[in-house]
């Protein structure tokens, strides 16, 4: 009885103390971040509060200095970096991928697609499922002559950024218009809000095609296409093929990289082409000594202990070769002496 | 006479007032001061919101000028912003909503005020009011899982092919489901309780003598309603409709889930569209460039102005009808 009471009192006292660190940003990595923060609080007692308000909001709050760190799916642009009070470092945390999901009447097997074909479908240049360019990739399948209905994200999202980054890298026409961004002027199709909005519409409408995060597609058992990568192989999106894509790019990095990397259409063997890092954003010069030290401690922790739990939540872990590089990069953070 | 004057008048008349009465006069003054403060806060807050939106949206309004309201190009990548499809979609979806909801709401409120037996009035009125308490996202989910499949088949093909309404241009093209029509229907259900509730109050405020006079002249029940009750309540009902319109203009979540979110002006109601509120809901959280943020603020400002005008009209109409009735009842 007494033990319960004192435990209660302890937890109340604990909840009264302010959060040690505050962060805000991307929604995509929220599940893994909240697991990390809860594991970290258990291990060290340091509490980290994270608001998943979206990458744009995270960058804004970091610019205004209302949070201790930000998080973003897309690396910050030069213009965004220029608005910061002082230099900001990008720390890749985990990897995600975007998959092509579809609902073709009469087709239960996995279809195969290439980047240019996907670009032309989403640009409205390929409009029928039995188009010669799709049929030639799927020789064994009897594709119907029905119309293709494109479904895209209506809300601004890192998923759209990664997808359009990929399409821009495989199709010159796409790079010109609509280009890449978190929200686009889509040439055709319907907009669904969130992964669930896109997946819901694709599921309900025969002939539909859309794109969602790999984690979402796996957790909801959606069908997704195999995609041809830059090495010419058809790759099924998996945690392994996503990490492979990262390894292919990061093995050739210059020593002074700022890690604002795009790994779409990576040229490695077995690399899934629509893969991407998600980043934590931290000021290189930490203004508050206590918080700065806590933040660096946490960053060191996720590099050592966090990556193992990524796969359990359907995120791809960083390739092992990157961890040492990033640990070295931690030493470049300057914490003000108190 | 304002609230302010009354306590002072009271004390002056009661010159030999005890300390207790005097004390309550101070209390009254504090009370009226506090109330006045809160009352002033609301319009100030409104002005602050308008000012903030206007200032934040000014760069976009200034850069694109009138074209912001008339251009259909909404391209955050290239930094071109024209809100015409969203403005069009906001207005059209609201008109569909009112066209569907108004007759239904007036029917419900006439039934409740004129025809329903006493034991039925309360439960039906309660259920209609309850529609207003359902969260928007629930309407959206219901729309996705129930309304859209029904629209896709059989409603849309029936309108287009069986009734051959595709010749009108309003009901043509492929029936995907997510569309201006779907958004209009969900909005109709959402604004129905507002219109019905105001109409019912207004109809109940029609003096008994009005009905009795009509019946005494030999009118049937229907003639009495049409000739004596409805004209009397007309401007109040219009006020309720406009209140519903204000609600429809600003509704966000359910519409975003059902309208298809396509920044394009299409004649067919089967085609997807966009509204100002869903544009904001979709893009605000991830907008990071100044031009994009400013354009979104400008959209919010335009929406604010339209909603403000609509609500002002509604207030004015309701005020007019209620003043009229209370005068005649007395």
- CB-CB neighbors (< 8 A) of A189 in chain B: 262
Domain-terminating residue out of B44, B64, B84? B64
What are the chain B neighbours of A73 within 8 Å (beta carbons)?
A: none
Does the domain at A98-246 match CATH 3.40.190.10? Answer given as: yes
Give just the sign of the alpha carbon dihedral B290, B292, B296, B299.
Answer: positive
Which residues in chain B have Cβ-Cβ distances shorter than 8 Å to A187? none
* Residue A180: CB atoms within 10 Å: 21
Residues B179 and B47 occupy one common structural domain: no
User: CATH 3.40.190.10 occupies which residues in chain A?
Assistant: 20-96+252-263+276-335, 98-246
CA distances from B112 to A111, B104, B155, B318 (A): 58, 12, 30, 20
Residue pair A141/A111 in contact (Cβ under 8 Å)? The answer is: yes
Co-location of B179 and B263 in the same domain: yes
* Residue B185 tokens, joined: 């229907």
Measure the CA–CA gap between A273 and A278, rounded to whole angstroms. 16
- Chain B residue at shortest CA distance from A206: B176
B142 shares its domain with B59: no
Are B124 and B15 in the same domain? no
Dist. CA B80–CA A150, nearest whole Å: 23
Distance CA B303, CA B297 (A): 10
Is residue B190 situated within a structural domain?
yes
Query: Which of A157, A183, A205 is facing B76, going by the closest CB pair?
Result: A183
Cβ atoms of residues A280 and A50 within 8 Å: no
CB contact under 8 A, B272 and A191: yes
Torsion sign over Cα B145, A208, A197, B284? negative
Report d(CA A189, CA A9) in Å as an integer.
56
Query: Is residue A237 a contact partner of residue A272, using CB atoms and an 8 Å limit?
Result: yes
Q: Does B283 contact A185 at a Cβ distance shorter than 8 Å?
A: no
Distance from CA of A147 to the nearest CA of B (A): 10
Same domain (yes/no): B172, B56: no
Instruction: Select from B152, B270, B285 the residue whose CB has the most chain A CBs within 10 Å, as the one to mutate to test that interface.
Output: B285
Please indicate whether, in this complex, the C-beta atoms of A179 and B149 are within 8 angstroms of each other. Answer: no
Q: Which residues of chain A have pLDDT under 70?
A: 1-19, 338
Give the separation between CA A235 and CA B130, rounded to whole angstroms.
52
Helices B180-204 & B84-110 angle (0-180, nearest 10): 40
Q: What are phi and psi of B121, to 5 degrees?
A: -55, -55
Residue found by looking up tokens 């200095």 in the block: A65
Position A36 scores a pLDDT of 95
Cβ contact, residue pair A180, B77, below 8 Å = yes
Which contacts (CB < 8 Å, 24+ apart) does range B205-213 have?
B205/B233, B205/B236, B205/B321, B205/B322, B205/B325, B205/B329, B206/B232, B206/B233, B206/B325, B207/B325, B207/B328, B207/B329
Residue finishing a domain among B64, B99, B118: B64
Strands A69-72 and A190-192: unpaired
Per-residue pLDDT for chain B (330 aa), expressed as one digit of tens each?
344 444 444 444 445 444 455 557 888 899 999 999 999 999 999 899 999 999 999 999 999 988 999 999 899 888 899 999 999 999 999 999 999 999 999 999 999 998 889 899 889 989 998 988 999 999 999 999 899 999 988 899 999 988 888 888 888 888 888 999 999 999 999 999 999 999 999 999 999 898 899 999 999 988 999 888 988 888 888 888 988 998 899 899 999 999 999 998 998 999 999 999 999 999 988 887 888 999 999 999 999 998 888 778 777 876 776 665 543 432
The token duo for B104 is 């239904």
DSSP class of A71? E
- Would you call A190 and B152 a contact, using CB atoms and an 8 Å cutoff? no
Contacts with A24 from chain B: Cβ below 8 Å: none
> Domain for residue B99, yes or no?
yes
Say whether both B269 and B227 belong to one domain: yes
Alpha-carbon distance A196 to nearest alpha carbon in chain B (angstroms): 10
Chain B positions in Cβ-Cβ contact with residue A55 (cut-off 8 Å): 286, 288
The reply to whether B169 and B212 lie within a common domain is yes
Residue to test with chain B: of A155, A163, A186, most B Cβ within 10 A:
A155
Chain B positions touching A79 (Cβ under 8 A) are: 289
Answer whether residue B329 is part of any domain: no
Residue of B74, B282, B285 lying closest to A56 (CB–CB): B285
Cα distance between residue A215 and residue A275, in whole Å: 12
> Looking only at Cα atoms, what is the longest distance across chain B?
86
CA distance B279 to chain A (A): 8
Nearest residue in chain A measured CA to CA from B270: A190
Nearest CA in chain A to B175: A205
Cα separation, A203 vs A102, whole angstroms:
8
Q: Quick check: B288 and A60 CB within 8 A?
A: yes
Q: Where are the beta strands (DSSP E) in chain A?
A: 21-25, 48-51, 69-72, 88-103, 112-113, 149-153, 190-192, 208-213, 226-228, 234-235, 275-283, 285-286, 334-335
Please report residues of A whose CB lies closer than 8 A to that of B76. Answer: 156, 181-185
Cα of B135 to nearest chain A Cα, Å: 17
Token pair for residue B125?
A: 């009125």
- Report chain B residues whose CB lies below 8 A from the CB of A53: 285
In a shared domain, residues B60 and B82: no
Residue B330 lies in a domain: no
What's the CATH number where B113 sits? 1.10.3720.10
Is the CB of B286 less than 8 angstroms away from the CB of A200? no
Q: Which tokens sit at A124?
A: 């409205």
Structural domains in chain B (count): 2
Give ipTM to 2 decimals: 0.79
Asked which of B45, B64, B83 is the last residue of a domain, the reply is B64
- Residue B238 is given by DSSP the state H
Cβ A185–B287 below 8 Å, yes or no?
no
Give the closest residue to A69 by CA, choosing from A277, A295, A257, A285.
A295
Angstroms from A205 CA to nearest CA on chain B: 7
Q: What is the pTM of this model?
A: 0.84
| R_g of chain B, CA atoms, integer Å | 25
What is the CA B191 to chain-centroid distance, rounded? 7
- A78: closest chain B residue by CA: B289
Cis bond before residue B227 (omega within 30° of 0): no
Give the per-residue pLDDT at B23.
56
In terms of domains, do B123 and B251 share one?
yes
Do B175 and B33 sit in the same domain of this protein? no
Q: Which of A80, A149, A154 sits opposite B261 (nearest CB)?
A: A154
Residue A25 distance to chain B (closest CA, Å): 9
Q: Which CATH superfamily is domain A20-96+252-263+276-335 in?
A: Periplasmic binding protein-like II (3.40.190.10)
Q: Which of A25, A56, A148 to mutate to test the interface with B (most CBs of B within 10 A)?
A: A56
Asked if B283 lies within 8 A of A79 by C-beta distance, the reply is: no
Same domain membership, residue B73 and residue B58: no
Residue B88 to chain A, least CA–CA distance (Å): 17
**Residues pairing with A281 in the sheet:** A70, A90
Q: Are residues B73 and B60 in the same domain?
A: no
Considering only CB atoms, A80 lies closest to which of B272, B281, B288, namely B288
DSSP string, A300-325: HHIIIIIGGGTGGGTPBPPPHHHHHH
B126-159 burial by CB neighbour count: b if 16+ within 10 A, else e?
Answer: eebeebeeeebeebbbbbbeebbeebbeebbeeb
Q: A262: Cβ–Cβ under 8 A, 6 or more apart, which residues?
A: A75, A165, A169, A276
Quote the minimal CA–CA distance from A177 to chain B in Å.
9
Tokens (6 digits) for B22: 């005097």
Closest to A119 (Cα-Cα) out of A56, A191, A52, A180: A180
Q: How far is A195 from chain B (nearest CA, A)?
A: 12
Q: Length of chain B, please?
A: 330
> Which chain B positions have a beta carbon within 8 Å of A88's beta carbon?
none
Report the residue of chain A nearest B254, measured CA to CA.
A193
- Residues spanned by the domain of B132: 69-324
Q: Across the interface, do A190 and B288 touch by the CB < 8 Å criterion?
A: no
For residue A152, the SS3 value is strand
């Amino acid at each position: 009885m007494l033990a319960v009471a004192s435990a209660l009192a302890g937890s109340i006292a604990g909840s009264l103390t302010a959060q040690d660190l505050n962060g805000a940003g991307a929604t995509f990595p929220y599940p893994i971040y909240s697991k990390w923060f809860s594991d970290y609080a258990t291990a060290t007692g340091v509490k980290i509060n994270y608001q998943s308000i979206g990458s744009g909001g995270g960058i804004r709050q970091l610019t205004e200095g209302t949070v201790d760190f930000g998080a973003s799916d897309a690396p910050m642009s030069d213009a965004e970096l220029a608005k910061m009070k002082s230099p900001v470092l990008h720390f890749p945390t985990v990897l995600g991928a975007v998959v092509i999901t579809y609902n073709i009447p009469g087709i239960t097997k996995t279809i195969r697609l290439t980047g240019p074909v996907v670009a032309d479908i989403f640009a409205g240049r390929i409009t029928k499922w039995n188009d010669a360019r799709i049929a030639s990739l799927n020789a064994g399948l009897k594709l119907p002559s029905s119309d293709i209905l494109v479904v895209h994200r209506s809300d601004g999202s890192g998923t759209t950024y990664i997808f359009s980054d990929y399409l821009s890298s495989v199709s010159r026409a796409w790079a010109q218009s609509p280009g890449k961004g978190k929200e686009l002027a889509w040439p055709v199709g319907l907009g669904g809000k969130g992964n669930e909005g896109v997946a819901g519409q694709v599921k309900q409408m025969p002939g539909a095609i859309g794109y969602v995060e790999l984690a979402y597609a796996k957790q909801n058992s959606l069908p997704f296409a195999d995609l041809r990568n830059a090495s010419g192989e058809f790759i099924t999106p998996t945690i392994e093929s996503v990490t492979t894509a990262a390894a292919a790019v990061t093995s050739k990095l210059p020593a002074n990289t700022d890690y604002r990397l795009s790994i779409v259409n990576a040229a490695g063997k077995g690399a899934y082409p629509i893969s991407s890092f998600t980043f934590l954003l931290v000021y290189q010069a930490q203004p508050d000594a206590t918080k700065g030290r806590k933040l660096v401690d946490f960053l060191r922790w996720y590099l050592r202990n966090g990556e193992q739990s990524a796969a359990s939540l359907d995120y791809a872990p960083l390739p092992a070769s990157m961890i040492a590089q990033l640990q070295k990069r931690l030493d470049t953070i300057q914490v003000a002496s108190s | 006479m304002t609230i302010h004057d009354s306590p002072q008048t009271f004390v002056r008349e009661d010159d030999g007032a005890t300390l207790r009465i005097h004390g309550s006069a101070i209390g009254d003054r504090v009370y009226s001061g506090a109330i006045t403060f809160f009352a002033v806060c609301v319009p100030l807050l409104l002005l602050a919101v308008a000012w903030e939106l206007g200032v934040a949206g000014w760069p976009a309004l200034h850069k694109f000028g009138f074209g912001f309201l008339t251009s259909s190009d909404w391209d955050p990548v290239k930094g071109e912003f024209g809100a015409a499809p969203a403005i069009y979609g906001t207005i059209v979806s609201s008109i569909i909503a009112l066209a569907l909801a108004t007759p239904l709401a007036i029917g419900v409120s006439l039934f409740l005020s004129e025809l329903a037996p006493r034991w039925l009035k309360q439960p039906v009125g309660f259920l209609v009011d309850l529609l207003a308490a359902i969260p928007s996202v629930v309407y959206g989910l219901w729309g996705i899982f129930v309304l859209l499949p029904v629209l896709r088949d059989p409603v849309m093909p029936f309108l287009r092919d069986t009734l051959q309404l595709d010749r009108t241009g309003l009901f043509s093209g492929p029936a995907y489901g997510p569309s201006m029509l779907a958004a209009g229907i969900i909005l109709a259900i959402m604004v129905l309780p507002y219109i019905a509730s105001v109409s019912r109050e207004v109809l109940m405020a029609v003096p008994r003598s009005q009905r009795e006079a009509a019946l005494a002249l030999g009118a049937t029940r229907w003639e009495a309603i049409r000739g004596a009750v409805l004209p009397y309540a007309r401007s109040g009902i219009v006020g309720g409709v406009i209140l519903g319109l204000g609600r429809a203009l600003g509704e966000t979540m359910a519409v975003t889930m059902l309208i298809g979110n396509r920044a394009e002006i299409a004649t067919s109601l089967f085609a997807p569209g966009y509204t100002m509120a869903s544009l904001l809901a979709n893009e605000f959280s991830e907008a990071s460039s100044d031009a994009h943020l400013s354009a979104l603020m400008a959209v919010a400002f335009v929406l604010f102005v339209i909603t403000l005008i609509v609500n002002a009209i509604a207030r004015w109409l309701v005020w007019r009808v209620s003043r009229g009735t209370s005068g005649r009842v007395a």
